[in-house]
Amino acid sequence: MGKTIIEVNDLSKSYVGIPVLKLLNMKIDTGEVVAIIGASGSGKSTLVRCIAGLEKINSGEILLNGKRVNGTTSTNGKIGMVFQNFNLFPHYKVGQNVSMPLKTILKYNKSDADEKSKLLLDKVHMLDKYEQYPNNLSGGQQQRVAIARALAMEPEIMIFDEPTSSLDPGISHEVFETISDLAKEGQTMLIVTHQINAVRRFATRILFLNNEKIEADGTPDYIFNQSSNENLRHFLKQVYFEDI
């Protein structure tokens, strides 16, 4: 792997005095695809929202390319975020949803912005919906448009926060295929998900979050077959029982 993009040191975060993350440490290098798993309420979404600058931290530090950002929005587009809900602008067509940030933030002219939006929509297999409005698309299609929009900012790392939680399993497959394609291209990614079988196919690392910290960290093979962490083993049994 390459250089370290994200470094989290002794991060602590609480809400109304209730700790969610406590002295948590992690690193992500270029080219890594890191999945975060754990029970509901374990702080997975809080962690990635802190990294993305959407939540202020209580203590510790977050470094982006070696510079402290510490739960602020000063990431200069280096972090792309895809949420549970697609957050598309319903009154803009698909192509406009992708080209808009190019024009308003990156100051592309209209012609260049439109051309790049078409390339990005083609990448996520949504070019044929260029002139459609989001409400005419399925949930999976909307999420793929959201991915294209996040890619438009040319982020160094993409963060996915439960990107398929509101989708049916069949439609979820479409979204994970798109994410898998990005992994093959070397896109650095951090993915929060409950759909462990989907990400274990292409994740380079899996982190297990429990008791306000990372209790297990390793390759998919290590997490599923070698780790002796009892909390992880219990969690995986619960997940697979629920899937059955």
Q: Give the pLDDT confidence of 185-210 residue by residue, as tens digits.
A: 999 999 999 888 888 899 999 999 99
Kindly list the structural domains of the chain, giving each domain's residue range(s) and its CATH number in brackets, ordered by start. Answer: 1-78+159-244 (3.40.50.300), 86-154 (no CATH)
Give, in order, the Cα–Cα distances in Å from 51 to each of 16, 106, 124, 155, 193: 20, 22, 25, 14, 16
Average pLDDT, the chain: 91
- The pLDDT confidence band at residue 71, using thresholds 50, 70 and 90, is low
What is the structure's pLDDT at 43? 93
Give, in order, the Cα–Cα distances in Å from 62 to each of 55, 68, 135: 12, 6, 37
pLDDT at 158 over 50: yes
Q: Please tell me the pTM assigned to this model.
A: 0.90
On the CB side of 223, CA atoms within 13 Å amount to 28
64: which strand partners? 6, 67
The answer to whether 227 touches 216, Cβ cutoff 8 Å, is yes
The encoded tokens of residue 55 equal: 């939540």
Lowest mean pLDDT among 37-41, 84-88, 138-142: 84-88
